[in-house]
Structure formats: C-alpha cells, structure tokens
C-alpha cells in the first residue's frame, strides 16, 4: 500500500511537471505533491521561503497551493510587466468561498470581478464615501473612535493589550459608523444582540 502511494505521488509530480512544460507556463518547483501542491516548501518566515524558491527558479514561477495556482513575481521588471502593461489581465479577484458568502456572491466592491459593475461600485464609493468633502464631514467619527480607543487604553494601562485587535476594532467601528451609523465593538454599543451576531460571523 505504501509503495502504491509513493508511485502515485511520483507519477503525479512528473505528470504535472511535463504538462507545465508543454503549456509553456512559468517554471514550477519539483515536486508538486497531490492535494497540497507546494505547501510543503513554505516555512516561516514566508518571505524567506519564497525568496529561496525564486533564487532557484527565477523571478517568475508558478506554485500550487492545494487546488489553486499562484503566480509568484519577485523582480521589479516582472512586476511592471504584470501590473502596468498587463494590469487588466490580473485585475480580477480569486473566487474564494468568503467572496460567495460574505461578499454577496462576488458582488461587493472587494470581491466583484473587474468590469462595469466593479467600476460603478468604485465610482459610487469614490463620490459617496472617499471624496475629500465626505471624508472631512466624517472626520468627527474618526476622532471619536480614536478618543474612545485612547480612553480604553488608559483604563487598561496596567494590563496587556492586544494592539492588533484594538486597531482592527477601531477600523471596523469607523467603517461601520461611516456606512451604517453603528458601533459593533467597545462599551458604547447600541444594538448589543446585533453586535454579538456580527462578532460571531466575522
């Protein structure tokens, strides 16, 4: 049984390797394992693992992370080619489960595919949320949330504070107050049950 697994893995890796050569795709590290792909090559810190792989295979390579293919770009020239000359080709977001369930079936600004719908959402957000005039009108919200965070830090000055979570809550509260006039984190939460549901679903 163990021998069959080894033979299958070797055959799979060799097949993937030659298929990439036939399709004229970027270099791919060998071997590509079934199910996990190249995840076995990634160690902490991640940037060093990717740098080591890039030094071996070049500034442009293709990795398999499970069932997904990931293009790794590690040189200024290749990055310019991808994001300046061929930016529209790389403009779409990957279709992940989060985009389907949280992004309203890939229709929100963060998950929508590049096209007329995405451009319309971007135009609306630029005019209604991110314009200079709108940001000035909403500056009070940002100031208020920062004040509440400073008060919380002062109150808990003798305790260890997770600043990553604190800044996450600050950002979410600012965003939610700008869009829905509601706070979902902290002491001054109006809709407690709704806030709890939001925290469970985050």
Q: Where are the domains of the chain?
A: 2-90, 94-137, 140-201
Average pLDDT, the chain: 82
Per-residue model confidence (pLDDT) at position 102? 80
167: exposed, middle or buried (C-beta count within 10 Å: 0-12, 13-18, 19+)? exposed
- What's this model's pTM, rounded to 2 decimal places? 0.57
d(CA 46, CA 122): 32
Whether residue 62 contacts residue 27, with contact meaning beta carbons closer than 8 Å, is answered with yes
Rounded alpha-carbon distances, angstroms, from residue 162 to 1, 7, 8, 146, 167: 49, 48, 47, 16, 9
Per-residue model confidence (pLDDT) at position 141? 92
103-127 mean pLDDT:
89
User: What is the per-residue pLDDT across 18-71, written as a single tens digit (0 to 9) for each?
Assistant: 665 556 778 888 777 888 888 888 888 988 988 898 898 888 888 988 888 888
Whether residue 165 contacts residue 149, with contact meaning beta carbons closer than 8 Å, is answered with no
Rounded (to 5) percent helix, strand, coil in the chain:
55, 5, 35
116-143 mean pLDDT:
89
Per-residue model confidence (pLDDT) at position 2? 61
d(CA 190, CA 75): 50
d(CA 66, CA 165): 29
Taking the CB of residue 90, how many other CB atoms lie within 10 A of it? 11
């Amino acid at each position: 049984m163990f021998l069959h697994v080894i033979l299958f893995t070797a055959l799979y890796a060799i097949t993937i390797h030659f298929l990439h050569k036939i399709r004229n795709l970027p270099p791919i590290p060998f071997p590509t394992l079934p199910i996990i792909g190249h995840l076995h090559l990634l160690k902490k810190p991640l940037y060093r693992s990717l740098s080591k792989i890039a030094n071996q295979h070049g500034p442009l390579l293709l990795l398999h992370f499970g069932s997904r293919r990931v293009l790794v770009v590690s040189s200024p020239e290749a990055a310019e080619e991808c994001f300046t000359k061929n930016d529209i080709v790389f403009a779409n977001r990957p279709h992940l489960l989060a985009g389907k369930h949280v992004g309203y079936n890939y229709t929100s600004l963060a998950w929508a595919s590049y096209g007329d719908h995405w451009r319309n959402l971007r135009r609306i957000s630029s005019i209604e949320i991110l314009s200079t005039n709108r940001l000035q009108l909403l500056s009070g919200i940002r100031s208020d949330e920062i004040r509440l965070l400073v008060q919380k830090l002062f109150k808990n000055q003798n305790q260890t504070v997770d600043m990553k979570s604190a800044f996450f809550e600050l950002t979410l509260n600012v965003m939610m107050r700008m869009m829905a006039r509601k706070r979902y984190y902290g002491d001054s939460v109006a809709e407690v049950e709704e806030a709890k549901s939001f925290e469970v679903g985050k």
